[in-house]
């Protein structure tokens, strides 16, 4: 059994929207207040505030701020647990997580509820302090009763519910097909057999309209209703871009997983690559990190193998036919001729072939010396 989150959209009633606004505000206040207390305790007194101390302090906060009692106590307790998890990730050197940040009122809002704060019955979910189930637009049935739910509202004002459920993944039939993938900007990905996906460039498609709305937003008076309305328009456009990008990546990764037993990809230092100001926008719009993330969990669920090849493999500069390696290959040079065997080489297809070869070799010998890791 594995755990999976089912994310659906819902449209709350006015009473539910008011309760959710109060819940978001209380959770945000407890998070920011506790984070400020932890930070000051460390900076001024060199003390580390434990989770138990933070929970005891929550009782005093409710006494000082009675309006915190208007929402379910589970929400506030879960906020402290989430903050503890954020600090655990920060102090874990392997995760390289950043220090927890304060939450703003205009950003994405979310609360997490355990079974004590909601009821799931007959396909309907009712949260604490309400009597009417949430009007959820179900796109698919849940695999099991959710163990926890996350209610969120994005910057565009849309409400979502994410239900964490246990499910049994269905293993796909074994296929002899294997594929090597090279990620790029002209094409989102290129396979070893020459298939090129193209790049829809979702941000570029809406870039002119986005710039126009942002110019108008910059001229509005801070705190005015007109500024709030225009900020909503900008947020909705950003949400549309993100939805289009996510949908395209889901379709591409699903096709790759369904058709291939082994998928070989290159490990990229995306954080370092986006420091290049000339390519940062294009790399971020391509969504390489999300592409590999979806391949990873979909391969695990479907019984496929994802092999990641080291980024230091000279995949573009080495001929996949004879192994000859050129000394220099500028990024602008998309084709070159091999001096060893004389064949004309497409840079991206050649890289995909080398990635596939290295991935299968590392998978066959069970070693990571070639840079391959399953």
Instruction: Give 224-262 pLDDT, tens digit per residue.
Output: 999 999 999 999 999 999 999 999 999 999 999 999 999
**Enclosing domain of residue 324:** 178-200+242-365
Domain count, the chain: 2
Is 30 within a domain? yes
Is the pLDDT reported for residue 373 higher than 70? no
- Report pLDDT digits (tens) over 83-111: 999 999 999 999 889 999 999 998 999 99
Annotated catalytic residue 182: yes
pLDDT band at 342 (very low <50, low <70, confident <90, very high): confident
Among 47, 266, 339, 346, the one annotated catalytic? 266
Look at the alpha carbons of 339, 345, 350, 351 in this order and tell me if their dihedral is positive or negative.
Answer: positive
Give the three-class secondary structure for 263.
strand
Segment 130-184, tens digit of pLDDT: 999 999 999 999 999 999 999 999 999 999 999 999 999 999 999 999 999 999 9
Contact between residue 374 and residue 305 where contact means Cβ atoms under 8 Å apart: yes
- The reported pLDDT for the residue numbered 235 is 96
Domain end (from 119, 148, 167): 167
Please give the Cα distance from 189 to 262 (Å, whole number): 16
| Residue 235 domain-assigned (yes or no) | no
Q: Are residues 183 and 265 in the same domain?
A: yes
Q: Are residues 140 and 185 in the same domain?
A: no
Q: Is residue 228 part of a domain?
A: no
In a domain, 211, yes or no: no
One domain, residues 111 and 26: yes
Which residue in 182, 193, 259, 285 is the catalytic one? 182
- Give the contacts of 176 (CB within 8 A, at least 6 positions apart): 261
pLDDT tens string 20-46: 999 999 999 999 999 999 999 999 999
Active site residue 247: no
63-66: long-range contacts (C-beta < 8 A, 24 or more apart)? Answer: 65/29
Mean pLDDT of 68-77: 96
**Which one from 46, 166, 259, 348 is the annotated catalytic residue?**
348
Residue 348 is a catalytic residue? yes
Q: How far is CA 295 from CA 38, 201, 252, in A?
A: 38, 20, 9
C-alpha torsion sign, points 256, 261, 267, 271: positive
Indicate the SS3 state at residue 332.
coil
């Amino acid at each position: 059994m594995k755990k999976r989150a089912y994310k659906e959209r819902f449209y709350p009633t006015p009473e539910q929207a008011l309760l959710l606004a109060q819940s978001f505000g209380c959770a945000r206040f407890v998070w920011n207040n506790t984070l400020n207390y932890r930070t000051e305790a460390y900076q001024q007194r060199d003390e580390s505030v434990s989770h138990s101390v933070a929970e005891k302090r929550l009782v005093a906060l409710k006494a000082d701020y009675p309006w915190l009692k208007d929402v379910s106590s589970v929400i506030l307790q879960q906020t402290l647990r989430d903050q503890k998890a954020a600090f655990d990730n920060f102090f874990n050197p392997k995760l390289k997580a950043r220090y927890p940040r304060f939450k703003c009122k205009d950003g994405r809002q979310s609360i997490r509820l355990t079974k004590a704060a909601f009821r799931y019955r007959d396909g309907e979910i009712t949260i604490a302090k309400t009597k009417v189930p949430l009007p959820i637009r179900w796109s698919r049935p849940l695999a099991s009763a959710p163990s926890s739910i996350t209610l969120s509202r994005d910057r565009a004002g849309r409400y979502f519910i994410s239900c964490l459920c246990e499910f049994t993944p269905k293993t796909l039939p074994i296929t002899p097909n294997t594929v090597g993938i090279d990620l790029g900007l002209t094409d989102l990905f290129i396979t070893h057999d020459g298939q090129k996906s193209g790049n829809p460039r979702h941000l570029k498609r809406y870039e002119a309209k986005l710039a126009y709305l942002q110019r108008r937003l910059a001229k509005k008076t801070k705190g005015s209703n007109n500024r709030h309305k225009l900020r909503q328009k900008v947020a909705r456009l950003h949400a549309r871009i993100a939805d289009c990008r996510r949908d395209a990546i889901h379709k591409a990764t699903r096709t790759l997983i369904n058709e291939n037993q082994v998928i070989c990809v290159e490990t990229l230092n995306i954080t370092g690559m986006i420091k290049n100001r000339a390519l940062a926008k294009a790399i971020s719009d391509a969504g390489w990190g999300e592409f590999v993330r979806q391949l990873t969990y979909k391969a695990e669920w479907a019984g496929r193998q994802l092999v990641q090849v080291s980024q230091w493999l000279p995949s573009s500069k080495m001929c996949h036919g004879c192994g000859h390696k050129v000394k220099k290959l500028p990024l602008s040079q998309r084709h070159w001729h091999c001096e060893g065997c004389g064949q004309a080489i497409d840079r991206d297809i050649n890289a995909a072939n080398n990635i596939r070869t290295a991935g299968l070799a590392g998978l066959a010998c069970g070693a990571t010396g070639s840079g391959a890791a399953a």
